[in-house]
């Protein structure tokens, strides 16, 4: 989806290499109406570049960092070497999501009978509020049409954006595992262990979190947590283990938690 105006300095942009010369490479910025950018040979790779075509070639999709923008001269300086692999992957992922969002927003225009001019106004409006049009669909998916109405989107379009987001965006989940060693020498120690396992599995969590406690063989148990992100998953894992160990220690037993599996004592 085309952005208006010019990119900001330090912004990451997706480019198509159009022409490779001995002194550098000319590119088109895919997100900015094919505006032209230049990667000087000194910005192609770290160290001395003997053959520039070993690093870039015509037709290649690359991610560059914007070094300098001169709109009056229609000139953009870019760097390829300043973009690491993580940044490249993340930017390409976001760019592909924005391509999906372009199809979705055209569908929204179709079902709400929004003409080309009004659609352009809607896209501009979304870019003023969100980093991307895809982010607007995420907002609608997570928080409903009201969140979009609150930032000025009309109710019919907001409902359509929310519905499309719900239908097409899947919340990513992460899975992590931890291990507990639980033992209780009391005559009714088995009952206390069972009670501790129930405590671990039944701590209060959000609806988007799942906890499974699995027996691996005395005295070891595994806690498996599924959650939307690692921060929440780690927090739930700790709470779950703490709940079980508290029950065991109150019964004069022994409990310990290991983030990674360890040899049994």
The confidence score (pLDDT) of residue 265 equals 39
85-131 per-position pLDDT tens digit = 999 999 999 999 999 999 999 999 999 999 999 999 999 999 999 98
**Domain end among 168, 188, 213:** 168
Expressed as residue numbers, the domain containing 201 is 174-258
Q: How many domains, in total, are found in the chain?
A: 3
Asked if 69 and 124 sit in the same domain, the reply is no
Average pLDDT of the residues in 46-71: 95
Q: Within a domain: residue 144? A: yes
Asked if 190 and 152 sit in the same domain, the reply is no
- Retrieve residue 220's tokens: 């070891």
The strand pairing partners of 16, in sequence order, are 28, 61
Pairwise CA distance, residues 218 & 27, whole Å = 62
Asked if 210 and 185 sit in the same domain, the reply is yes
**Domain end among 57, 81, 105:** 81
Pairwise CA distance, residues 258 & 265, whole Å = 13
Average pLDDT of the residues in 243-262: 86
Residue 264 has pLDDT above 50, yes or no: no
> Cis peptide before 219, with omega less than 30 degrees from 0?
yes
The confidence score (pLDDT) of residue 208 equals 85
CA-closest candidate to residue 166, choices 149, 185, 142: 142
Q: Within a domain: residue 2? A: no
Asked if 241 and 183 sit in the same domain, the reply is yes
Q: Within a domain: residue 71? A: yes
The confidence score (pLDDT) of residue 168 equals 95
Pairwise CA distance, residues 205 & 240, whole Å = 10
Q: Within a domain: residue 265? A: no
Residue 263 has pLDDT above 70, yes or no: no
Asked if 68 and 105 sit in the same domain, the reply is no
Do the Cβ atoms of 112 and 156 come closer than 8 Å? yes
> Which CATH number do you get for residue 198?
3.30.70.1130
178-227 per-position pLDDT tens digit = 999 999 988 888 899 999 999 999 988 888 899 999 888 878 899 999 99
Containing 68, the helix (H) or strand (E) segment is: strand 61-70
What Cα–Cα distance (Å) separates residue 120 from each residue in 146, 175, 236?
Answer: 21, 40, 44
Highest-scoring range by mean pLDDT, 216-230, 231-245, 251-265: 231-245
Residue 261 has pLDDT above 70, yes or no: no
**Domain end among 168, 191, 210:** 168
CA-closest candidate to residue 176, choices 218, 128, 230, 221: 230
């Amino acid at each position: 989806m085309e952005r208006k105006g010019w990119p900001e300095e330090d912004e990451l942009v997706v480019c198509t290499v159009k022409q490779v010369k001995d002194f550098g490479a000319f590119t088109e910025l895919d997100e900015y109406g094919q505006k032209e950018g230049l990667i000087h040979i000194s910005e192609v790779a770290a160290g001395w570049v003997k053959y520039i075509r070993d690093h870039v070639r015509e037709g290649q999709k690359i991610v560059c960092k914007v070094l300098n923008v001169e709109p009056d001269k229609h000139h953009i300086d870019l760097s390829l070497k300043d973009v690491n692999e993580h940044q490249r992957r993340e930017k390409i992922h976001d760019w592909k999501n924005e391509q999906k969002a372009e199809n979705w927003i055209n569908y929204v225009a179709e079902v709400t009978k929004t003409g080309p001019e009004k659609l352009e106004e809607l896209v501009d409006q979304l870019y003023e509020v969100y980093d991307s049009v895809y982010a607007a669909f995420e907002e609608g998916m997570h928080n409903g049409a009201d969140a979009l109405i609150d930032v000025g989107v009309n109710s019919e379009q907001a409902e359509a954006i929310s519905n499309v987001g719900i239908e097409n965006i899947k919340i990513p989940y992460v899975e992590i595992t931890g291990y507990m060693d639980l033992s209780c020498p009391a005559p009714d120690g088995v009952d206390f262990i069972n009670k501790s396992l129930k405590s671990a599995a039944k701590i209060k969590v959000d609806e988007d979190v799942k906890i499974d406690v699995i027996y691996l063989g005395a005295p070891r148990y595994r806690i498996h947590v599924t959650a939307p992100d690692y921060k929440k998953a780690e927090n739930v894992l700790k709470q779950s283990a703490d709940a079980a160990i508290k029950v065991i220690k109150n019964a004069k037993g022994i409990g310990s938690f290991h983030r990674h599996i360890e040899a049994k004592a």
